[in-house]
Structure 1
């Protein structure tokens, strides 16, 4: 049996798989959500390449996607991400990791917008998509309606140090889907 030297062991880290979903049939007929790439592949990572984050977890660095929503009629722009919650702060990546998603540089019809949490309408949000939350585009304190939403999606993957202690190449992955949410009915009903 051939053994690799300890420093040359590799572990494979692949795939964050994303899908685009619509909340209801009427929304699906009038709006289209797309991503610049539906899959993010971190490739094979050697143990020596890992970087420790501030939390003691191993960070694989940020990746960026571009999200676009185009509607035939003006619509309230509200998004949620459906994935397996890792904790209250992110989504599951492998058994011992998580990934977070943040919406940056968002615009509706060319106008800069900020985000609020639909469940807490008066509270501004950082643009971070958390499990169970819907973010609503707002400007000057009111929901924004429009035909085109563009945003940068920053993805950050972190793993517990134990997730990196593997003997063989190992596939770790996370998945989920972005959903354009219709807010015709207030979220509390």
Structure 2
């Protein structure tokens, strides 16, 4: 008797943000859910113990405030480690902010110890020009979501749902 061979698939969904309302600001994300759909093992690069899905996803983040505000962001989600957020049992996802503008002017991202656009667990980023925080009424940025998993994560016998959750937070008070 021949054994029936099945293709193994995974369904990956990362819920990365929902709409948030601050006192005088409104934050929106182009898609509150990132769905990787069914993934075959061939769609992931696995040359190391930790593999990354081949296609990072890009979302659009927008903050609109009625009064000028210092634009500082944090992502609240379960930490996988110091570099990313929990995805499934053993994986992680990372969030990088790119092409940010405040009131139409390009800005970079700063934290208290680095000038990187990566949102890290427990850390906050603020929009700056030349290292100085900027204020404004409108912030736009692209959010790049990348997922990394242990190489053995695709070795399953049935469809498996892996997900990560979290929420963007604007942590800036209005500027007088």
Aligned partner of 1:59 in structure 2 is 52
User: Of 125, 133, 136, which residue of structure 2 is paired with 1:143?
Assistant: 133
2:13–2:33 contact (8 Å) kept in structure 1: no
Aligned partner of 1:9 in structure 2 is 8
Match of 1:18, SS? coil
1:96–1:159 contact (8 Å) kept in structure 2: yes
Structure 1 position 125, deviation (Å): 1.7
The structure with the largest helix share of the pair is 1
CA distance in structure 2 between the partners assigned to 1:18 and 1:106 by the alignment: 18
1:93–1:172 contact (8 Å) kept in structure 2: yes
What are the residue-to-residue correspondences of 1:1-189 with 2, within 5 Å?
4-5=4-5, 8-22=7-21, 28-52=22-46, 55-60=48-53, 61-117=55-111, 120=112, 123-183=113-173
More off after superposition, 154-163 vs 90-99: 154-163
CA distance in structure 1 between the partners assigned to 2:158 and 2:129 by the alignment: 50
Aligned partner of 1:187 in structure 2 is none
**CA-to-partner distance for each residue in 1:50-84, whole Å, 9 max, x for gaps?**
2226x532211210000000000100000000000
CA distance in structure 1 between the partners assigned to 2:4 and 2:164 by the alignment: 28
1:91–1:98 contact (8 Å) kept in structure 2: yes
1:20–1:179 contact (8 Å) kept in structure 2: no
**Structure 1 residues without counterparts, runs of 5 or longer:** 23-27, 185-189
Q: After TM superposition, what 4+ stretches of structure 1 lie above 3 angstroms from structure 2?
A: none
CA distance in structure 1 between the partners assigned to 2:106 and 2:4 by the alignment: 53
CA distance in structure 1 between the partners assigned to 2:13 and 2:66 by the alignment: 36
2:110–2:131 contact (8 Å) kept in structure 1: no
* RMSD of aligned residue pairs (Cα, Å): 2.0
More off after superposition, 159-168 vs 76-85: 159-168
CA distance in structure 2 between the partners assigned to 1:56 and 1:109 by the alignment: 43
TM-score w.r.t. length of structure 2 = 0.90
Structure 1 position 3, deviation (Å): 5.9
**Structure 2 residues without counterparts, runs of 5 or longer:** none
CA distance in structure 2 between the partners assigned to 1:66 and 1:140 by the alignment: 24
